[in-house]
């Protein structure tokens, strides 16, 4: 189990790395208003006998600076633990290890176009994740398709995306995103995962359909990230998730539950599903 998960983690960070393409929140959540702060908690269910456990949390926000410009902030955090117990020749052997780490903190800008519903995002991450926090990195990457860049050590990522949002009078909502990311390796490491080249170029897209009313909303969608500068089969270079969100609004607070699962070949062999919640407050 330990070896399998390490290999899966290495595949994530070396082969299937993908971009965080804009929002200061998960792609499956989306913003509530121009000035807000959010807390998100996700817990992946790792396949197997339960030796690996942990959780992912994120504090994010957006603040309007001018009529068409907003500041974005995203602070990810993850905790992961591994334990192993076995008997050999009548002797009991127990091993446990755990890591916690703040991820790479993201700062970005959101630009509102003159075209209704169209926005653009651009930003970068500070290299703040702890190198060698293997299990925290594994949990962070496994939880959210947007957090691959948040838990890789020794990179300086720059990303951008175009987003289109549609809301009908009947409650139908459509959120679409297309973006890319450019990673610069800041340090070569030999004792842990790193990107394979000095730079990596990645692409991402997402599409969410939903129903929204004043006090209720539901969304279901697909998000994909793909590395462009690596060879190999296409399905080995893609990181894909499906996700559903159900929630409601109480005053100036939005509460929602979320359920996700991986559909790419590598990740779904290690993770059964991801569940959690989010709370967003206007200010």
Residue with tokens 């279901």: 220
Q: What is the pLDDT of residue 19?
A: 35
Q: Which two tokens stand for residue 88?
A: 């050999």
The answer to whether 40 and 55 have CB atoms below 8 angstroms apart is: no
Is pLDDT larger for residue 13 or for residue 161?
161
Domain boundaries, the chain: 2-282
Cα–Cα nearest to 257, from 266, 248, 265? 248
Q: Could you tell me the pLDDT band of residue 195, with boundaries at 50, 70 and 90? A: low
State both tokens at 94: 């127990």
Contacts of 105 (CB under 8 A, 6+ apart): 73, 74, 75, 76, 125, 126, 128
Angle at 167 between CA 163 and CA 170, to 5 degrees: 160
How much is the average pLDDT of 109-134? 91
Q: How far, in whole angstroms, is CA 128 from its chain's centroid?
A: 16
Per DSSP, the residues of 69-108 read EEEEEEEEEEEEEEEEEEEETTEEEEEEEEEEEE--EEEE
| Rg, Å, the chain Cα set | 19
* The two structure tokens encoding residue 158: 């720059």
The pLDDT assigned to 44 comes to 95
Q: Which CATH superfamily is domain 2-282 in?
A: monomeric porin ompg (2.40.160.40)
How many angstroms from the chain centroid is the CA of residue 265?
18
Query: Which stretch of DSSP H or E encloses residue 250?
Result: strand 238-250
Q: What is the pLDDT of residue 9?
A: 43
**17-76 pLDDT tens trace:** 333 344 556 777 767 678 999 999 999 999 875 689 999 999 999 999 998 999 999 999
pLDDT in tens, 152-172: 888 899 999 999 999 999 999
109, burial (CB in 10 Å: exposed 0-12, middle 13-18, buried 19+): middle
Q: Whole-prediction pTM value?
A: 0.85
Structure tokens belonging to residue 258:
């979320």
The average confidence (pLDDT) of the chain is: 84
pLDDT of residue 78: 97
> Residues near 165 by Cβ (< 8 Å), separated by ≥ 6?
30, 117, 119, 173, 174, 175
**pLDDT at residue number 12:** 42
Question: 100 phi and psi, to 5 degrees?
Answer: -135, 145
Q: Which residue has the tokens 């860049």?
A: 149
Cα 24 to Cα 6, 19, 105, 183, 249: the distances in Å are 29, 13, 10, 18, 20
């Amino acid at each position: 189990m330990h070896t399998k998960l390490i290999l899966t983690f290495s595949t994530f960070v070396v082969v299937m790395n993908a971009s965080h393409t804009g929002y200061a929140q998960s792609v499956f959540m989306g913003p509530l208003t121009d000035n807000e702060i959010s807390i998100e908690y996700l817990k992946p269910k790792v396949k197997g006998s339960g030796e690996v456990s942990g959780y992912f949390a994120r504090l994010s926000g957006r603040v309007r600076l001018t009529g068409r410009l907003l500041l974005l902030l995203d602070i990810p955090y993850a905790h992961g633990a591994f334990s192993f117990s076995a008997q050999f020749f009548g002797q009991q052997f127990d091993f446990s290890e755990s890591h916690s780490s703040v991820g790479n903190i993201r700062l970005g800008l959101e630009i509102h176009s003159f075209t209704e519903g169209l926005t653009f995002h651009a930003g970068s991450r500070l290299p703040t994740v702890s190198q060698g926090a293997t299990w925290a990195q594994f949990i962070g990457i496994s939880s959210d398709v947007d957090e691959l860049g948040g838990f890789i050590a020794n990179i300086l990522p720059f990303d951008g995306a175009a987003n289109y949002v549609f809301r009908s009078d009947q409650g139908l909502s459509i959120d679409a995103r297309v973006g890319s990311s450019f990673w610069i390796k800041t340090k070569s490491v030999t004792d842990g995962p790193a990107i394979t080249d000095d730079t990596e170029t990645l692409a991402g897209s997402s599409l969410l359909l939903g129903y929204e009313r004043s006090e209720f909303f539901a969304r279901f969608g697909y998000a994909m990230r793909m590395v462009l500068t690596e060879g190999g089969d296409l399905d080995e270079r893609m990181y894909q998730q499906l996700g559903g969100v159900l929630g409601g609004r109480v005053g100036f607070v939005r509460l929602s539950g979320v359920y996700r699962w991986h559909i790419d070949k590598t990740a779904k062999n290690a993770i059964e599903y991801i569940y959690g919640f989010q709370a967003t407050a206007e200010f």
